C-alpha cells in the first residue's frame, strides 16, 4: 500500500509539469473557456449592465442600459440606470433629454447635461426616479447614472 | 554508557552536470516565455527578455547546484514585487493616462484584477454569475479571466506555495523582513495567525452583502503602492489613509521588527484559501523526527509561523506552510525536506524538491518572469526614449 501511495504521489507530482505547461501555453483558450462555460460577466453595479434601448439623434445616439437592481439573492429596493450619449465629438453643447428607463412609454426623468463641463441635472418625472447618482466622461461618451426605486419592490 | 549515533546529513545539492541537465528544459521553456522565440520585432523587448532569462536560469541553476532554495527564491521574489510596481505603473499610465483610479475607469472596466480579490468574488459569482470587480474579463491589462486561470493552475500545482513563489506582493514584506539580522520583536502570539481567517470571513460576507470587493475598497495594503482611487471625497481620503497605514504597519514596520511576513501570515485573506489548497496539494514540507534535534531553528526562522512544537513531534508543518524553503535550508541536520505526499519522509528528498521546483519555476518564468521582463523593458524605454511605455 505504501509503495502504491508512493507511485501515485510521484505520478501526480510529475503530471503537474505538463499541466502547468498546458495552463500557460493554452492561456487564451482557458480564459475563453472559463468565461463561456460559466457565463460569468462583470457585475452590472460596475459595468452599468447591457444596453437595452438606443435612441438615434442627428449624429449621436442615446444608449439606455438595463436598470440595475441585482442583489445577491433577488433584487434591491434601490438601484440605478445608466444612460450614455456618444460619440463625444458629435454631441451638442447641451444634451436635454427625457428618458423612459423601463420602456413603458412614459418618461421617468429628464437629464440636462453640459457636454463641455459634465455638469448634469436630473429631474424626476415619476416616483421611480430618485435623482442623479453621477455623471462620467467615458472614452467616447458621456454617461449619467440615475438612482432608481425598484418598481418591482 | 550510551552510544550516540550521529546521522550524517545528506549532501544537499546536485553536481554541475546534473544541475545543467535538469536546467535545460526550464531554460528552453523560459526562453520561449520571455523572448517569444528568436529576435524579431522590438530589440529592447528581446534584450529585456534575455536579461530576465539569464537571471532566472542562473538562480535556478544555483538552487539545483547548491541545494539551497530560500536565498535564491528570495532574490526572485523580492525582484518580482519591486518590478511589479514599475510594470504596473507603466501599464496603467499607458492604458488610463493616470495612476489614480477614477469613477469613469471603474465604469469602463479599466481596473487590473489581482489575486487578492479572489476570496471576495467567490460567493457573488456562485449566486449571481457575476464578478464583483470593475475590471475586464478578457481584455486589457491583467484581465480577470487570466488571473483566475493562472491562480487556479498554480494553486492546483503548488497549493500555498503560491504565496512564496508567485504572489507579486509577498516579496515586499519578505524583503522588509530580511533587513535586520535579528528580530526586535522576538515572539508573536500564535493566536494572531487566526486573524487571516477572520479577515477572509469578514470580507467574503461583506462583499457578498454589498456586491462590491470589500477588501479592495477598505483593507488592501498594496493599494498604497499600486493604484488607489483619486481622492475626491472624505470617504476616499479615509480609505487611502487605511491603505497607507496598513502598508506601513504590516508590510514595512512589522516585518522589519519581527523578521516575519506579517501581512502574509497575519492578515491576507487569500492565505487561508491557499492553506486549504495545501490539503489537496501533492507537495509539502516534512520533518524527520528521528533526525531532528529540537533546536527550533526552523520555528524561529519560518517567515509565516508555520511551525510549532507540535510540528517537530508530528513531522508535519502547519497547513499555512508556503513552501518557501527557509526551514529546509536552515536546518543544521538536514532533517527538513520537500516531500511528495504518499512517499517516505527523507527518502528521495532531492527528487521531491526538483519535482516541486519544476512546475514552480515554469510558472515563475511565464508569470513572474513576464512581469520582471516588462519592468526591465520599461526602464530601457525610459533610458532610450524618455518614456516608460
- Is the same domain home to A95 and A70? yes
- Is the same domain home to A50 and A108? yes
Instruction: Report the C-alpha dihedral over residues A106, A108, A114, A115, rounded to 10 degrees.
Output: -70
Top CATH class, B282-347: alpha beta
What is the predicted pLDDT for the residue at B74? 97
Banded pLDDT at A19 (limits 50, 70, 90): very high
| Residues in chain A within 8 Å Cβ distance of B133 | 42-43, 46
Residues on chain A bordering chain B, Cβ-to-Cβ distance under 8 angstroms: 2, 5-6, 8-10, 12-14, 16-17, 19-21, 23-24, 27, 30-32, 34-35, 38-48, 70-73, 82, 134, 136-139, 143
Task: Give the residue extent of every domain in chain B.
Answer: 13-89+349-389, 100-280, 282-347
Over chain B (389 residues), the average pLDDT of each successive run of 10 is 49 85 95 77 89 97 96 97 94 84 91 95 97 95 95 95 97 97 94 97 97 95 87 92 97 98 97 96 95 95 96 95 97 95 88 96 94 95 88
| Residues in chain A within 8 Å Cβ distance of B323 | none
Domain membership of residue A82 as a residue range: 44-149
Chain B interface mutation, best of A43, A44, A50, A80, highest count of B Cβ atoms under 10 Å = A43
Number of compact structural domains in chain A: 2
Angle B30-B33-B34 from CA coordinates, rounded to 5°: 85
- Is the same domain home to A79 and A9? no
What is the predicted pLDDT for the residue at A146? 98
CB contact under 8 A, A73 and B148: no
- Is the same domain home to A29 and A51? no
- Is the same domain home to A17 and A79? no
- Is the same domain home to A109 and A132? yes
Min Cα separation A9/chain B (Å): 5
CB contact under 8 A, B29 and A21: yes
Banded pLDDT at A149 (limits 50, 70, 90): very high
Give me B339's grid cell.
Answer: 516531500
**What is chain A's length?**
153
- Is the same domain home to A29 and A85? no
What's the whole-number mean pLDDT along residues A117-122?
Answer: 96
How many contacts, defined by CB atoms under 8 Å, are there between A and B?
A: 144
* Residue listed under C-alpha cell 413603458: A104
What's the whole-number mean pLDDT along residues A100-116?
Answer: 95
Min Cα separation A130/chain B (Å): 20
What is the predicted pLDDT for the residue at B4? 47
Min Cα separation B146/chain A (Å): 6
What is the predicted pLDDT for the residue at B3? 45
* Residue listed under C-alpha cell 508543518: B317
- Is the same domain home to A27 and A63? no
- How far apart (Å, rounded) are the C-alpha atoms in residues A52 and A47? 13
Amino acid at each position: 500500500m505504501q509503495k502504491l501511495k508512493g507511485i501515485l504521489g510521484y505520478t501526480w507530482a510529475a503530471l503537474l509539469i505538463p499541466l502547468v505547461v498546458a495552463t500557460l501555453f493554452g492561456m487564451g483558450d482557458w480564459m475563453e473557456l472559463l468565461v463561456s462555460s460559466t457565463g460569468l460577466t462583470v457585475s452590472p453595479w460596475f459595468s452599468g449592465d447591457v444596453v437595452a434601448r438606443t435612441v438615434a439623434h442627428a449624429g449621436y445616439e442615446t444608449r439606455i442600459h438595463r436598470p440595475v437592481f441585482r442583489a445577491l439573492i433577488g433584487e434591491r429596493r434601490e438601484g440605478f440606470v445608466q444612460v450614455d450619449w456618444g460619440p463625444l465629438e458629435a454631441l451638442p453643447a447641451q444634451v436635454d433629454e427625457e428618458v423612459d428607463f423601463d420602456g413603458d412609454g412614459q418618461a421617468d426623468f429628464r437629464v440636462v447635461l453640459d457636454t463641455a463641463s459634465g455638469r448634469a441635472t436630473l429631474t424626476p418625472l415619476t416616483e421611480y426616479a430618485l435623482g442623479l447618482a453621477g455623471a462620467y466622461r467615458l472614452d467616447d461618451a458621456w454617461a449619467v447614472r440615475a438612482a432608481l426605486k425598484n418598481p418591482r419592490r | 554508557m550510551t552510544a550516540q549515533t550521529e546521522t550524517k546529513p545528506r549532501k544537499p545539492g546536485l553536481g554541475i552536470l546534473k544541475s545543467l541537465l535538469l536546467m535545460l528544459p526550464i531554460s528552453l521553456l523560459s526562453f520561449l516565455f520571455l523572448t517569444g522565440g528568436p529576435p524579431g520585432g522590438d530589440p529592447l523587448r528581446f534584450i529585456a527578455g534575455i536579461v530576465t532569462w539569464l537571471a532566472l536560469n542562473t538562480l535556478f541553476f544555483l538552487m539545483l547546484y547548491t541545494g539551497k532554495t530560500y536565498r535564491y527564491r528570495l532574490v526572485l521574489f523580492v525582484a518580482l514585487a519591486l518590478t511589479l510596481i514599475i510594470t504596473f505603473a507603466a501599464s496603467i499610465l499607458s492604458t488610463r493616462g493616470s495612476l489614480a483610479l477614477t469613477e469613469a475607469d471603474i465604469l469602463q472596466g479599466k481596473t487590473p484584477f489581482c489575486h487578492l480579490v479572489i476570496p471576495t468574488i467567490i460567493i457573488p459569482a456562485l449566486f449571481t454569475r457575476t464578478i464583483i470587480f470593475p475590471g475586464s474579463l478578457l481584455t486589457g491589462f491583467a484581465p480577470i479571466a487570466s488571473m483566475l486561470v493562472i491562480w487556479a493552475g498554480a494553486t492546483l500545482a503548488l497549493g500555498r506555495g503560491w504565496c512564496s513563489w508567485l504572489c507579486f506582493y509577498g516579496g515586499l514584506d519578505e524583503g522588509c523582513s530580511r533587513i535586520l539580522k535579528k528580530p526586535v520583536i522576538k515572539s508573536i502570539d500564535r493566536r494572531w495567525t487566526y486573524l487571516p481567517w477572520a479577515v477572509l470571513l469578514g470580507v467574503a460576507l461583506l462583499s457578498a452583502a454589498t456586491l462590491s470587493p470589500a477588501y479592495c475598497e477598505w483593507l488592501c495594503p498594496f493599494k498604497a503602492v499600486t493604484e488607489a482611487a483619486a481622492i475626491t471625497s472624505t470617504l476616499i481620503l479615509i480609505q487611502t489613509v487605511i491603505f497607507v497605514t496598513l502598508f506601513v504597519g504590516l508590510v514595512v514596520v512589522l516585518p522589519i521588527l519581527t523578521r516575519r511576513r506579517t501581512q502574509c501570515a497575519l492578515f491576507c485573506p487569500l492565505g487561508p484559501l491557499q492553506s486549504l489548497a495545501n490539503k489537496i496539494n501533492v507537495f509539502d514540507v516534512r520533518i524527520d523526527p528521528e533526525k531532528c534535534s529540537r533546536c527550533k531553528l526552523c520555528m524561529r526562522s519560518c517567515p509565516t509561523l508555520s511551525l510549532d512544537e507540535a510540528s517537530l513531534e508530528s513531522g508535519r508543518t502547519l497547513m499555512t506552510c508556503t513552501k518557501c524553503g527557509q526551514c529546509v535550508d536552515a536546518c543544521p541536520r538536514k532533517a527538513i525536506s520537500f516531500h511528495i505526499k504518499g512517499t517516505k519522509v527523507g527518502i528521495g528528498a532531492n527528487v521531491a524538491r526538483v519535482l516541486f521546483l519544476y512546475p514552480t519555476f515554469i510558472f515563475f518564468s511565464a508569470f513572474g518572469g513576464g512581469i520582471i521582463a516588462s519592468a526591465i523593458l520599461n526602464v530601457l524605454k525610459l533610458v532610450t526614449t524618455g518614456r516608460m511605455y
